[in-house]
């Protein structure tokens, strides 16, 4: 059930950007700076953070590991704005595939992360998946508003 809900929200985020041009994916609605491209770039990184880095304990993919976070605290979003539409979706899908493979390889939802939080506690895979559902749900709400402002399309 957790996989199904997580996949639902992953698809919902992609749906909000479906059929838009590169320029449309860059549209922000001031004073906000959030765009659909920035949201998808952010969630691409978040997939890697939670499943690759924190859960499996592997180094972050070079694409995001080498970003200058001191110069730009939203560096993953800024980077995503430079990607053509096809590359944006390809990178997002690759991150999702990587996350699915890692969660599917776990013995159970009770498996714990390799890395710990600031209190030294491990996250369970169950907790990570619920957190990711929450993260996607929040950002899908943002995406709904951005898409409607771009061309009037509303999620059905």
| Percentage of the chain lying above the pLDDT 90 cut | 97
Classify residue 36: in a domain, yes or no.
yes
Residue 156 has pLDDT above 70, yes or no: no
* CATH code at position 63: 1.20.120.450
Kindly report the pTM of this predicted structure: 0.96
Classify residue 112: in a domain, yes or no.
yes
Structural tokens at position 51 = 């499943």
3-state secondary structure of 41: helix
pLDDT digits (tens, 9 = 90+) for 99-132: 999 999 999 999 999 999 999 999 999 999 999 9
Q: Determine the Cα–Cα distance for residues 78 and 56; give it in Å rounded to an integer.
A: 26
Q: How many domains is the chain partitioned into structurally? A: 1
Classify residue 156: in a domain, yes or no.
no
Handedness of CA 35, 46, 124, 12 (dihedral sign): positive
Classify residue 13: in a domain, yes or no.
yes
Q: 131 Cβ partners below 8 Å, 6+ apart?
A: 50, 123
Classify residue 65: in a domain, yes or no.
yes
Q: Give the domain extent around 127.
A: 2-151
């Amino acid at each position: 059930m957790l996989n199904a809900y997580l996949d639902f929200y992953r698809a919902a985020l992609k749906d909000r950007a479906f059929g838009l041009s590169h320029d449309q994916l860059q549209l922000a609605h001031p004073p906000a700076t959030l765009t659909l491209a920035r949201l998808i770039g952010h969630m691409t990184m978040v997939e890697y953070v939670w499943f690759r880095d924190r859960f499996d304990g592997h180094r972050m993919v070079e694409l995001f590991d080498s970003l200058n976070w001191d110069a730009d605290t939203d560096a993953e979003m800024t980077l995503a704005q430079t990607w053509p539409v096809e590359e944006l979706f390809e990178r997002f899908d690759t991150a999702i595939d990587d996350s699915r493979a890692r969660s599917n390889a776990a013995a159970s939802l009770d498996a714990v992360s390799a890395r710990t939080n600031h209190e030294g506690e491990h996250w369970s895979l169950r907790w990570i998946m619920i957190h990711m559902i929450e993260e996607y749900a929040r950002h899908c709400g943002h995406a709904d508003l951005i898409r409607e402002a771009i061309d009037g399309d509303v999620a059905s």
